[in-house]
């Protein structure tokens, strides 16, 4: 445990030492030499920890030393995190000032923050850092007032509870909180004091069905990496200043049926890996809304779930630039959901959203009567495919890496035959060594009401050799 903490501190130091920090920070802190010396000492400690971890079983003094080291390590991590937060804050402020210089007032503030942090390093007793509240009845989240060391909490979570209000006084005391999980409660709003929890990395507010909005101060959480808002049915909007969350990697808004659009600032979050349930076309067509073209800037995306349930307009010149997804080499999982009411332009939008050939998982749900996009056949690395309500089946048997295939509610499909399998008359007659669906392991047909016939014409062609029950 202690070895893991020391390793974490070394990672923190490395990020602070080598990242590009403005000269004003270096002058104020004047600590580059101290950081290197500190890093060297931590490496020495780390070198003897493995032996100490084994000796603590039979030596009480060693065990006591490790406990003290663990407490001090937590506190040092808090200080380093405050330092890193100040650096991130300056980066955001510079972007907002369009390259303006940092004022002397800000320098003094930074110096005070770091100095104040150093003064907190002292021997500590046993303190709880991870707390889960279970089966709490309906009422305010303030019942941990008996807990003496709220400021040392790193994790606060609830399980199967019904909290309705988050006490602002409590929140303001959780200064070093990293993880906040309040999912599944009945919370309708969060206090502005949430913005003071600058060390937060993870927030889960999923399934708080009465939650309508987030506080603007929450956009000051520069360290936040994950924000989960799944199935917050009454959530109507997100703050326009969300572009300040420069470290955000995962944003989940799936099932937020009243959320009309994401703010434009989402397009500046270039560290985003996951964007789940992103709505398009719900009645907002101005400079405040995140649009299809804004996806171009999010080059780190690995997972994208798009919900198109209104009139989506491709801006002038966007079509000439090509798909906003085709250059995203790291995108591996794509879900495209187009609402029933969107109508005949669904095919146009689908073809516009051509992804990079590296895609591994694809789910498409469209209105009845839409042809699956032709670009599916260019996805040579595709392993999972789910198509819902498509009218015409493409020759999916030619996909070399496909392992799982789901076909749903295709009311116009009466025959599954050579076109679906990818069999061509001239090809099948010329060779007997063709294998179609070479890696397919799972095949699912669901709610195919008009399906009458499965037809294979060439017995010499191998079909689905890996298929299993």
Q: What is the DSSP string of 237-282?
A: ---GGGGG-TT--EEE-TT-TT----BGGGGG-TT--EEEEEEE-S
CA distances from 410 to 42, 73, 222, 391, 421 (A): 62, 59, 46, 6, 16
Q: CA 323 to CA 21: how far, in whole Å?
A: 35
Strand partners, 44: none
Handedness of CA 403, 338, 352, 250 (dihedral sign): negative
- The tokens describing 320, both together, are 């000439």
Task: Go through 260-284 and write b for each residue having 16 or more CB atoms within 10 A of its CB, e for each that does not.
Answer: bbbbbbbbbbeebbbbbbbbbbbeb
Do 398 and 378 form a contact (C-beta atoms < 8 A)? no
Q: CA 42 to CA 39: how far, in whole Å?
A: 5
pLDDT computed for residue 300 by the predictor? 95
pLDDT computed for residue 259 by the predictor? 93
Nearest to 236 by CA among 197, 264, 262: 262
pLDDT computed for residue 77 by the predictor? 61
The domain ranges of the chain are 2-118, 130-398
Q: CA 123 to CA 70: how far, in whole Å?
A: 10
pLDDT computed for residue 21 by the predictor? 46
64: CB partners within 8 A, 6+ apart: none
Q: CA 74 to CA 77: how far, in whole Å?
A: 5
Handedness of CA 274, 279, 280, 286 (dihedral sign): negative
By DSSP bridging, strand 435-436 and strand 462-463 are parallel
Q: CA 207 to CA 136: how far, in whole Å?
A: 16
In 3-state terms, what secondary structure has residue 292?
Answer: helix
| CATH class for the region spanning 130-398 | alpha beta
Q: CA 223 to CA 201: how far, in whole Å?
A: 6
Do 133 and 143 form a contact (C-beta atoms < 8 A)? yes
Q: Is 22 left (phi over 0), alpha (psi -120 to 50) or beta?
A: beta
In 3-state terms, what secondary structure has residue 145?
Answer: coil
What string of pLDDT tens digits covers the 469 residues of the chain?
555 555 555 555 555 544 444 444 444 444 555 556 655 655 556 555 555 555 554 556 555 655 655 555 555 666 665 666 666 666 666 666 554 433 333 333 333 333 333 333 333 334 678 888 888 888 888 755 445 556 678 899 998 899 999 999 888 888 889 999 999 999 999 999 999 999 999 999 999 999 999 999 999 999 999 999 999 999 999 999 999 999 999 999 999 999 989 999 999 999 999 999 999 887 666 778 999 999 999 999 999 999 988 777 665 455 557 899 999 999 999 999 987 666 667 788 888 999 999 999 999 998 877 888 989 999 999 999 999 988 777 889 999 999 999 999 887 777 777 777 776 654 545 555 788 899 999 999 888 887 877 776 666 778 889 998 7
pLDDT computed for residue 339 by the predictor? 78
DSSP assignment, residue 97? T
pLDDT computed for residue 367 by the predictor? 81
Do 372 and 387 form a contact (C-beta atoms < 8 A)? yes
29: CB partners within 8 A, 6+ apart: 83, 110, 111, 114
pLDDT computed for residue 80 by the predictor? 60
Q: CA 328 to CA 358: how far, in whole Å?
A: 9
């Amino acid at each position: 445990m202690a070895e893991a903490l020391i390793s974490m501190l070394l990672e923190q130091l490395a990020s602070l030492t080598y990242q590009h920090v403005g000269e004003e920070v270096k002058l104020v802190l004047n600590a580059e030499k101290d950081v290197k010396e500190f890093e060297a000492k931590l490496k020495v400690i780390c070198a003897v920890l493995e032996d100490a971890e084994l000796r603590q079983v039979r030596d009480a003094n060693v065990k006591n030393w490790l406990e003290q080291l663990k407490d001090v390590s937590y506190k040092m991590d808090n200080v380093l995190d405050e330092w890193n937060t100040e650096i991130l804050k300056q980066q955001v402020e510079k972007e907002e000032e369009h390259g303006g210089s940092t004022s002397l007032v800000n320098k003094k503030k930074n110096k005070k923050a770091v100095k104040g942090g150093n003064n907190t390093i002292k021997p500590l007793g046993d303190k709880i850092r991870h707390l889960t509240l279970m089966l709490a009845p309906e009422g305010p989240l303030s019942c941990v007032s008996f807990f003496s060391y709220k400021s040392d909490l790193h994790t606060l979570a609830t399980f199967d509870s019904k909290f309705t209000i988050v006490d602002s006084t409590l929140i303001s005391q959780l200064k070093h909180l990293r993880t906040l999980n309040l999912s599944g409660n009945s919370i309708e709003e969060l206090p502005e004091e949430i913005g003071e929890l600058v060390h937060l990395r993870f927030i889960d507010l999923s399934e708080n069905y009465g939650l309508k909005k987030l506080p603007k101060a929450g956009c000051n959480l520069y360290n936040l990496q994950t924000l989960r808002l799944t199935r917050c049915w009454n959530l109507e909007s997100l703050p326009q200043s969300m572009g300040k969350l420069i470290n955000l990697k995962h944003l989940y808004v799936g099932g937020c049926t009243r959320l009309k659009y994401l703010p434009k600032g989402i397009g500046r979050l270039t560290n985003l890996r996951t964007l789940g349930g992103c709505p398009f076309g719900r009645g907002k067509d101005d400079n405040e809304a995140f649009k299809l073209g804004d996806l171009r800037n999010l080059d780190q995306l690995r997972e994208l779930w798009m919900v198109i349930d209104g009139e989506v307009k491709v801006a002038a010149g966007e079509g000439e630039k090509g798909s906003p997804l085709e250059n995203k080499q790291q995108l591996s999982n794509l879900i495209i959901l187009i609402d029933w009411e969107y109508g005949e332009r669904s095919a146009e939008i689908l073809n516009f959203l051509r992804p990079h050939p590296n895609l591994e998982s694809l789910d498409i749900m469209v209105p009845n009567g839409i042809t699956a996009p032709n670009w599916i056949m260019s996805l040579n690395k595709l392993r999972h495919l789910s198509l819902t309500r498509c009218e015409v089946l493409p020759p999916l048997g030619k996909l070399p890496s496909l392992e799982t295939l789901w076909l749903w509610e295709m009311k116009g499909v009466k025959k599954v035959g050579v076109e679906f399998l990818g069999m061509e008359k001239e090809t099948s007659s010329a060779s007997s060594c063709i294998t179609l669906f070479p890696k397919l392991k799972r095949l699912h047909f669901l709610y195919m009401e008009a399906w009458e016939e499965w037809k294979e014409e060439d017995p010499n062609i191998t079909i689905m050799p890996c298929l299993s029950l």
